[in-house]
Amino acid sequence: MDLRAGRPWAPLLGGAAITTVVALIITLAGSCGPDSPKRQAKPSPRTSAPASPPAPAPPVPSPASTPVPFVAPGYSPLKPVIGDNFADPAVIKVGATYYAYGTNNGDASMPVATAPSPTGPWIKAPADGLAQLPSWADAGWTWAPEVVPPQPGSRTYLLYFSARRKGEDAQCIGVATAVSPAGPFVPVAGDPLVCPLDLGGAIDPASHIDADGTRYLLYKTDARESAAIYLMRLTPDGLRPAETAKRILGRGKDEPVLVEAPDLVRRGGKYVLLYSAGWYFKSNYQTRYAVASSINGPYEKAGRVVQSTGAYGGKIEGPGSADVLSDESGDHLVFHGIQDYLGGSKVNRGMYVTPLAWDGTRPVIRGIAARYEAERARLNGCASTFKRPRASGDKAIGPFDRDGCLVEVPVFVAGTGSYSVKIGYANRSGNASRFELTANGAGPRTVRLRESGGDDWPSTTAEVQLKPGWNTLGLRRLDGRGQIDYLEVR
């Protein structure tokens, strides 16, 4: 989704012939790795991954060439992997190569980039992945592409995209096909796949393939007053509707402006619907999620913000349009964040990638601090919970008045690596105190709790090594006293 209130880009140059040659070069380069795209094709990043072993429908992902996933030099979950304009990103893996697709950027209706890993380095293709638009579409208004790899018995890649319908101030959703993940994608002839003009049009298509192989398309209706997310079952080839679309999610009172950019996966035995809330060109744009036991709903909103400018401490602005990428190393969240404000609704947005893990149906990503209140720790009989009005959650634990007193705090993280642990505390004993911090019983390090006074609740920080999923942070008294308020992991 892009530049809704701005003028269209000028018609794009280039053509399908040039794109075909470049696409062939990119595809051959990708096939030179240990896994050929002809043999291995990663299922759509929005394809479901049930908790129980799935039926043998999607192709098996290519095997990892090393037990440790490659991480590009200089990568950080807080830095864009594509820094210039690459909005509404979606990523698939084919063989040993990752392909990213984005909203039109003035150079291409659908820019394409490739990389050897989700973290990069990403290289933009010189040609347009969608050089030819359908007869119903105006140039310069193609948004939010979604590419689906071939399913068993097929060699066809599908592209779902939104474009402005000629003669209408509204977007519609089209579908195109290709034999290469780099394109050129050729639009299917005829009318758009989805075009509810009475609801302001449709944008943000997202594919979901259920465990039994049934195809679905999600999208957002575009009129502000009635903006909502819809689900529609498709024919087995993914080219036509199989039934009338159903409204599955609308805006909540606590959500800014509207909901959009759906992405559906199956985790923790349920359907998890990620979506964005707010205007994409404002800093309060954010990612949320809802959960359902049936693909048709009802979807219950979790009431949690997965991503926001505030959650990132301002280090990423307006994070949203999230897309789940799955490979042999696990899940990753691909999304965009605002790089530059150009006036009005015009912004440049870069592409980010961060490790993603699941605590049941709850998505957890790197780069965002998660606070764990100390009163929820395993106190092991050596500390008590008491009220402290100025403490986080109005409670703290203590007093840690004997040697060896140990409390344990379970924490959940995404991705292996070094994490910063911020410890909120109070120490009114008159002297500095020392505690030992461990992660999963290893890597002990000493943290110093300086003397504090009055109602102050200062903090200190230490680094620990954690693994994906649940970990246990231990705090053991070495000397002195103190009260622990919270542990915050980033």
Please give the torsion angle defined by the CA atoms of residues 212, 214, 219 and 221, in that order, rounded to the nearest 10 degrees.
Answer: -120
Task: Give whole-number Cα distances, 163 to 133, 221, 231, 357, in Å.
Answer: 9, 13, 19, 33
Please give the torsion angle defined by the CA atoms of residues 256, 245, 140 and 187, in that order, rounded to the nearest 10 degrees.
Answer: 160
All structural domains of the chain with their residue ranges: 16-365, 370-489
Pairing of strands 186-187, 202-209: unpaired
Q: Does domain 16-365 have CATH number 3.30.499.10?
A: no
Instruction: For residues 105 and 165, give the distance between their C-alpha atoms in angstroms, rounded to a whole number.
Output: 19
The DSSP code for 285 is: -
13-41 pLDDT tens trace: 344 444 444 444 444 444 443 333 332 33
Grouping H, G, I as helix, E, B as strand and the rest as coil, residue 97 is strand
* Confidence (pLDDT) at 39: 28
Find all residues with CB under 8 Å of 453, minimum gap 6, and list them.
Answer: 428
Looking from the CA of 47 toward its CB, the CA atoms found within 13 Å total: 26
Strand blocks (E) in 165-201: 171-178, 186-187
Q: Does domain 370-489 have CATH number 1.10.760.10?
A: no
Please give the torsion angle defined by the CA atoms of residues 223, 159, 305 and 269, in that order, rounded to the nearest 10 degrees.
Answer: 120
Provide the residue-wise pLDDT of the chain in tens; the chain has 490 residues: 433 333 233 333 344 444 444 444 444 444 443 333 332 333 333 333 333 333 333 333 333 333 456 899 999 999 999 998 999 999 999 999 999 999 999 889 999 999 999 999 999 999 999 999 999 999 999 999 999 999 998 999 999 999 999 999 999 999 999 999 999 999 999 999 999 999 999 999 999 999 999 999 999 999 988 999 999 999 999 999 999 999 999 999 999 999 999 999 999 999 999 999 999 999 999 999 999 999 999 999 998 899 999 999 999 999 999 999 999 989 999 999 999 999 999 999 999 999 999 999 999 999 999 999 999 999 988 899 999 989 999 999 998 888 889 999 999 999 899 999 999 999 988 899 999 999 999 999 999 999 998 889 999 999 999 999 999 999 999 998 899 999 999 9
Question: Considering Cα of 69, then 73, then 75, then 80, what sign does the dihedral take?
Answer: negative
Tell me the pTM.
0.84
Please give the torsion angle defined by the CA atoms of residues 146, 289, 321 and 420, in that order, rounded to the nearest 10 degrees.
Answer: -120
Start-to-end CA distance of the chain, whole Å, equals 30
Both tokens assigned to 353: 């990638």
Between CA 305 and CA 316, with CA 310 as vertex, the angle to 5 degrees is: 100
| Cα 238 → chain centroid | 24
Instruction: For residues 124 and 81, give the distance between their C-alpha atoms in angstroms, rounded to a whole number.
Output: 11
- Known catalytic residues are 88, 260
Find all residues with CB under 8 Å of 244, minimum gap 6, and list them.
Answer: 232
H-helix or E-strand spanning residue 168: none
* Confidence (pLDDT) at 360: 96
Question: In whole angstroms, how large is the CA radius of gyration of the chain?
Answer: 24
